[in-house]
Amino acid sequence: MAQELLEIKDLTVGFLTEKGFVRATDRISLSLPKGQTLCVVGESGSGKSVASLAVMRLIDYAGGVIAEGEVHFQGQDLTVKSQEEMRRIRGNKITMVFQDPMSALNPVFTVGEQIAESLRLHKQLSAGAAWSRVIDMLRLVGIPDPEVRARQYPHEMSGGMCQRVVIAMALACDPELVIADEPTTALDVTVQAQILELMQKLKREMGMSILLITHDMGVAAEMADRIAVMYAGVIVEEGTAEDIFERSRHPYTHGLLKSIPGLSGERGTELYAIQGNIPRLGELPAGCRFSPRCPFAAERCFREEPPLLPTPDGHRSACWLESGPEVKTS
């Protein structure tokens, strides 16, 4: 059995508002073995990014609160660590690749200086050794003429090139875990494919684990060993990538898969869309959170919230239907 690198147990994260405490994630539990990729998928507002910020303990700076639960990384609970202890872990053992590379990079420093800073801080490298490592990392992520590019500023590079710089920065200290929050959303389709291929290649070569946050099931199909589907702050289904795509059990997962162009119907047919909108976290419906949008909802679904339980297929689903509406996509 693969060793668990990251274990999230009953994690509840929320924000204090005028209406009281609003839960952005509600008792979610996930695990990520060493060397694997876990994709967390769902619509905007489902709580995916909040969960990733909680793992990094960056939610503290965003005005959020970890109300309950644990986040174990290499056997240590990150929720009880001080921010000083977390600063020694962030950028070193756990790193993050953000959605918008231009926002993640400081415009007044060269990209080489920004990568070298983390090396001097976490690895105590000399200026010369850090700069040599910068050049090696830029070369590793496929940036041509790394000696020249390292002395350039972010505005002198394309979006795809800046994303490669952000990945180089994330990998510079040989992290055990990389959290990638929508790392290709701001890029065009061709560059997206290149970045995903690069991340897969580096994962194999460096043996790191990836927690990938995305709303794109196509990206999940390309990257994931396991997939967790989130909706309105809770996990509604979780399993291997093969099981999710071939034998999904939850109606929401069913809808996400049908929404992939070319996967669920003939060419030229109307693109499928899940009816309705994800509820506001402070105004959740009674019972199953997906029930107002679910075509299979029964009376019980509107009264009782289903627990996340093992299914006959070997993964987990939160649905009152005995086995869920199985969908086969091949």
Domain termination residue (choose one: 174, 195, 225): 174
Domain boundary residue, one of 151, 174, 197 = 174
Q: Mind listing the pLDDT tens digit for each residue in 95-124?
A: 999 888 888 899 999 999 999 999 999 999
As given in the structure block, the two tokens for residue 246 are 């071939």
- 40 in any annotated domain: no
- Quote the pLDDT of residue 300: 94
The angle at the Cα of 314, spanning 312 to 320, to the nearest 5 degrees, equals 50
- 206 vs 225, residue with greater confidence: 225
Strand partners, 214: 41
- The answer to whether the predicted template modeling score (pTM) of the entire model surpasses 0.85 is yes
229 part of a folded domain = no
In a domain, 303, yes or no: yes
308 located within any domain = yes
Give the chain's end-to-end CA distance (angstroms, integer): 29
**Alpha carbon of residue 198 to chain centroid:** 17
Is residue 9 within 8 Å of 17, Cβ to Cβ?
A: no
Select from 174, 207, 232 the last residue of a domain.
174
Q: Where are the beta strands (DSSP E) in 52-159?
A: 64-73, 76-77, 94-97
Report the C-alpha gap between 325 and 191 in whole angstroms.
36
Check pLDDT > 60 for residue 10. Answer: yes
Q: What is the percentage of the chain residues whose pLDDT exceeds 70? A: 93
Q: Tokens standing for 237?
A: 């289904």
| Side-chain-side CA neighbours of residue 124 (13 Å) | 1
Q: φ, ψ for residue 100 (rounded to 5)?
A: -110, 105
Question: Cα–Cα distance between 306 and 42 in angstroms, integer?
Answer: 18
pLDDT, residue 2, reads 52
Residue 247 covered by a domain: yes
For residue 251, give its domain range.
Answer: 242-317
In a domain, 251, yes or no: yes
**pLDDT beyond 70 at 327:** no
Domains: count for the chain: 2
Asked if residue 34 is part of any domain, the answer here is no
Residue 159, in any domain of the structure: yes
Confidence of residue 306 (pLDDT cuts 50, 70, 90): very high
